[in-house]
Chains A and B, each alone.
Chain A
């Protein structure tokens, strides 16, 4: 569903990318932001999705500055494996 939802802070980068990809594909949405949830006091993130009628390629997440295929869509800091981590979020080509 479009909107902002809490996301587990103990996912690895790969798990986080797969989780967000699954939500995008099934909910007809597009990830626009991923931030630490400072308000809840828990080690978790907040992901923001907007409606997207077109199918997008899967997401990939890597450490900030590391190289990755695809197009970088944003850089952020999020909880990864329960630790605040600088990450780059990439959009891979559909079919990759």
Chain B
């Protein structure tokens, strides 16, 4: 749905770039290059590129409107095969130059077969459109920058054509799906890295906590009264900080047992969040046992 489109904008572009006109322009471009009229060739190259871009833009606008407003298309979207076919042909108006574009690249032929259908079904139309828009903006910016800054020697029409094909396919659902899948893979890798770091950190903290326990136990079971009293105070401080009620009349051995319980409670199987382990580690660090 959207506001009524002005009559002037209703045509696919300012003037539909027919295949005949396109062929004639390409011939003229090649003749200019051959004759050494590189400035003329550059102007023609840019004209060809912008006219094709205009056709792609017009086709894409209609395509986007259709997949957002026509819920029937979304229903069809439950079948990746059907959507893959419809999306690949959605922006093509038979007879115009975008048809040549579609025929040029076989990049997506068959690729949509490999999509995991379950993954596909989770993608909303909005997410696909957001991905298509982002990809198109990026490709279009690259194209325009190259057209404005590069001559026909470093950026001939054939290279422009490759980028136009990329720009065209950036506005298709299969392309958006590939991009989203790649992004999801990247996110998964980040999640794995986070998990690795968390497990390594947990092991380090556990070793440190256990070392502190051994030290406190040695002091409490030792014969040095001052060391024993100091260990009792440290134990009480640690237990208080992590919220374990130790009372006033617990024996030193009982305080040690309570710390042991706190350590067991911090086991990753008992507290998968790791919050207890982190709190216990912080409390032991604050007790400054060294």
Contact = CB atoms under 8 A, between A and B. Distances in A.
Given A55-B210, A58-B207, A23 B267 contact: yes
Contacts of A15: 195-196, 199
B264 A1 contact: yes
Contact of A25 (B195, B196, B206, B269): B206
A23 B209 CA distance: 12
B214 A55 contact: yes
A73 interface: no
Given A1-B264, A55-B211, A22 B196 contact: no
B203 interface: yes
Contacts of A1: 264, 267
Interface in B241-290: 260, 263-264, 266-269, 277
A5 interface: yes
Most chain A C-beta atoms within 10 Å of own C-beta, residue among B207, B264, B269: B207
A21 B210 CA distance: 11
Interface in A2-18: 5, 11-12, 14-15, 17-18
Contacts of A23: 267-269
Given A1-B264, A14-B200, A22 B195 contact: no
Which range holds the interface residue count of chain A?
A: 20 to 34
B218 to A, nearest CB: 11
Contacts of B203: 17-19, 21-22, 25, 58
B202 interface: yes
B207 A25 contact: yes
A18 B263 CA distance: 16
B258 to A, nearest CB: 14
A5 B264 CA distance: 14
A33 B257 CA distance: 27
Contacts of A39: none
B207 A21 contact: yes
B266 to A, nearest CB: 6
Contacts of A25: 203, 206-207, 209-210, 263
Given A18-B199, A18-B202, A26 B266 contact: yes
Nearest to B266: A26
Interface string B182-199: 000000000000011001
Interface string A50-80: 0000110010000000000000000000000
A81 to B, nearest CB: 10
B286 to A, nearest CB: 19
Contacts of B266: 26
Given A21-B207, A22-B268, A27-B263, 6 more contacts: A15-B196, A22-B277, A23-B269, A25-B206, A25-B209, A54-B214
22 contacts: A1-B264, A18-B200, A18-B203, A19-B199, A19-B202, A19-B203, A21-B206, A21-B207, A22-B202, A22-B203, A23-B267, A23-B269, A25-B203, A25-B209, A25-B210, A26-B206, A26-B263, A26-B266, A55-B207, A55-B214, A58-B207, A94-B207
